[in-house]
Structure 1
Amino acid sequence: MAVSTTVSAAPLGRPFAPQLRQALLQLHDDHRQFTGFEAFSAQLPALMELGRLRQEAATCVALLGLLEPLSGAQIEPRDLQIQRDNLRESLLAGGCLSRHRAITRVLEHLGDDLTSLREMRIYLPETSTGFVHWLQQHLPAHLELSDFLQDAEIVPADAGLHQNLCELTYADQCFDLVICNDVFEHVYDLPRALEEVWRVLRPGGRLLATFPMAFGQQENIIKAEFRGLNQPVLFRGEPEYHGDPIRPTRGSLVYVIPGWQILDQASTIGFSAVVMHLISSWKHGVIGADLPGVLVADFLR
């Protein structure tokens, strides 16, 4: 994804008004947890109001830089790139986007650090992102990577194994942590993918995932239906594609936009605890698109 150079918003160069400063304090480093739609919907109006401060929060990052979760590195403003029309997908620093740092911030909240993570076997179904390169720098061992290479336009030299998240070839209970960055919307059978992740996680293992979420509703939104090999995909409306580093021309097809239903699906499959974190933190460079922060699913085996 192309990311523009830092853009200076109007508030840059003059102090924030006292009332605005007070409101921005809520987004300094805010962490909330939800176990379902009912609890989230009760807070949604207030969260949407806080979400109106996204540009001001981005200005704080542009002025002050950010503190990188897990590594503790201070990223200076000159080393940031911000695309203000999509803050969830920008705030690029050290190869990581806002939503990537949401995941590492959740790991911190769970009590993990780089030392504990180096003792884990971690799986990511991606190979060509800045987040992967960041992990390789900090966690060089016990990191398993793959890509879904079917119809790929570019096959990375270090792609490792081709894996279908709905039919993983890994042994049962072989990973301590699975991280899925904006992957679930692209799998053709979301419940099956969750079953496979549950299968390859060890007892006490954890899945952390981000995805563009229909956070205002319980039900998943089905965008396309897989009807079998050699069968045409059945589209529900206009086909939707998202940017993909190994499919730069056409992108990756969206099958589903998960709603809060994904938590029920995970519980049914057998995950013992399912939580949705909302991380909003200009201190750590985590700002959302509509919400003030980024939602991260946390499913414990």
Structure 2
Amino acid sequence: MKVTIQDIANMVGVSKSTVSRYLNGGYVSDENIKKISEAVEKTGFKSNFFAKRLKAKNSGLVGVVIPRIDSFTAGKILKSINMQLEEKGYQIIILSSELDKAKEIRSIEKLHEQGVDGIIVMAFDITKENIALANKITIPIIFTGQENSLVRCIKIDDRKAGKMLGEYIRDKGHREIVFLGVTEDDKAVGIERKEGFYEAFNNVESNINFVQADFSFNKAYEMAEKVISYNPTAVIGATDNIVLGFIRYAFEKGYEIPKDFSVAGFGGYDIGLAVHPTITTVDIDYEALGKKAANSIVASIELEEIEDETNINLELIERESVRKVE
């Protein structure tokens, strides 16, 4: 007698989609994992399922949802994803959410409807709507940039990155600091990266003020006057792009860097070498992140064993934009 996914679902008392998620490596509660795995073993269904999947023809397409077209970070990750997927015989379909959560959800739904084999989402937040949709669709989905235990995620250690730069700025003697950051809606950059930086000063008498911008050059430029009003010796941008916006404003107003303000950021953007002074930064290996995301989505699609999580490399690059306070 042929056993179907619906048969397994009926035996266990769960929905058909829950069984599909289990078989495709999606999120299923520990309780249901135990029940489904026992039913699968008992009926011998698993071997039949894998054989069927191996014979099935995939579309050879992977959907990628990016936050915005002009994002340096998204561009670096996307380039790496594309190169890796091409090597494995896949092509990508790219949709942009433009930092709109509703549009991000619609993009995921649209890609699923178009028959892609898997989806990578460069998330700026993982909401309950993301989680519900990820657990509803039956194809693999991976989120990068943010973390949530209810869905599969790949990200850098933003807290570690923040602390790395914080310790460097602390050891350079800076105590009057402005952190020019982003909204806490972005948990990785807006919370973890900032908190990691602050953590480096836990046992040091210091004054760190926070000024909120966004990820754009223009907003950082706009908020630079407020930053300077705090009379900092160091200005830290949540990204190198934010640092560039501040530098432009400071230059126009006749300030010198690092004489008047030391500046540093995160990302390791190439343009940080093209400006004067060159920007001290925490270099993030976005290519490795993209490669890992691509390999993981392919492994999920082809029902292969997924590699253990590996740390994405972070490296502090000391350049010319930070001076030592005596």
- TM-score interval w.r.t. the shorter chain? 0.3 to 0.5
Structure with the bigger RCO (C-alpha within 8 Å, sep 6+) is 1
Higher helix share: 2
Higher strand share: 1
> Which structure has the bigger radius of gyration?
2
**Structure 1-normalised TM-score?**
0.33
